[in-house]
Amino acid sequence: MFQEVAMVVTVATCERGRAALAGCSGVRAVPLEEAAPAHAEVLWRRAGTTGPEIAAALSRARAARWVHTDTAGVDDLPLPELAARRVVLTKTSAYTDAVAEWIVTAVLVAAKGTPAYADASRDGRWEPGVGAPRLVSGTCALIVGDGAISQAAASVLTAMGATVTPVGSRSPSGWDALLPGTDWLVLACPLTERTHHLISAAVLGALPVGAWLVNAARGEVVDERALATALDSGHLGGAVLDTFSVEPLPADSPLWGRPNVVVTPHDAWRASGAGRRQVADFLDQLHRYRTGRPLHRTVDTAAGY
């Protein structure tokens, strides 16, 4: 992908990134926020750096050849400019296991009726069977998205005895036909024009009564008004949601305060050691870049994932 690069590579990144690169041979770390990135070949976007900040830095870094992001999603990055300038975009692998485990946990929370038991426990109620628990074994999970996170979650759910069907985020032919037999509709796909409000009233209505929605993708993949309506009707068993169209989730959102909805604050990625994994992943990629080897987890900037 790349020819051997100069001995010293200039990387523009935030203060945390520069601290992580301190002492790295052959690397000159410069501030992302200043004019210094003009000659930077590499932009390292750490968690907390916004898409507009990367866009501004990219407009100054005319020598940029590669952008690496510590985020799982890339929808807020300047993808058209990256594509037009043929700047390579890669993303971290630091969250794969954490998000896959969150998905499996979400399915178990739904299957075992954990919210109802938690409510009873807080109220001091001894109420056997209140959560109407059931086995995951023998159920069917439809996972929208076929990347590393989906594959990892599918492996565990399959080992638990569930039938798991992953589908690509481009909604291949026949996707709708799978919905009536789906117990757990799991979202682990990128946000693109194709997937915006992919989970519509029609999709939710095609699920069987009692099915659950698990969203580890982006909030905008779900039509939240349609979701609230499906929950109000009693058609859905419930939802475990990590992302939302507006974050933090507004206090007046109809998704708050429901006994069958579990909200986590965009935390599916969070697990001890995440920062170390981000740094290790970038350093491995940087070594590949400096030695002319192909980079891992490149993003199709035209497609958006």
Of the candidates 198, 230, 213, the one whose C-alpha atom is nearest the C-alpha of residue 106 is 213
Separation CA 59–CA 55 (nearest Å):
6
Please identify which of the residues 258, 266, 270, 288 carries the catalytic annotation.
Answer: 266
Q: What is the DSSP letter of 222?
A: B
Ramachandran angles phi, psi of 60, nearest 5°? -90, -30
Of the candidates 242, 204, 208, 240, the one whose C-alpha atom is nearest the C-alpha of residue 113 is 240
**Residue in the structure block whose two tokens are 């002492």:** 23
Whether 151 and 177 have beta carbons less than 8 Å apart is answered as no
Examine the residue annotation and report whether 287 is marked as an active-site residue of this protein: no
Question: 47: how many CB neighbours lie within 10 A of its CB?
Answer: 17
Examine the residue annotation and report whether 297 is marked as an active-site residue of this protein: no
Separation CA 228–CA 231 (nearest Å):
5
| Rounded CA Rg of the chain | 21
Please identify which of the residues 18, 218, 277, 290 carries the catalytic annotation.
Answer: 218
Active site residues: 218, 266
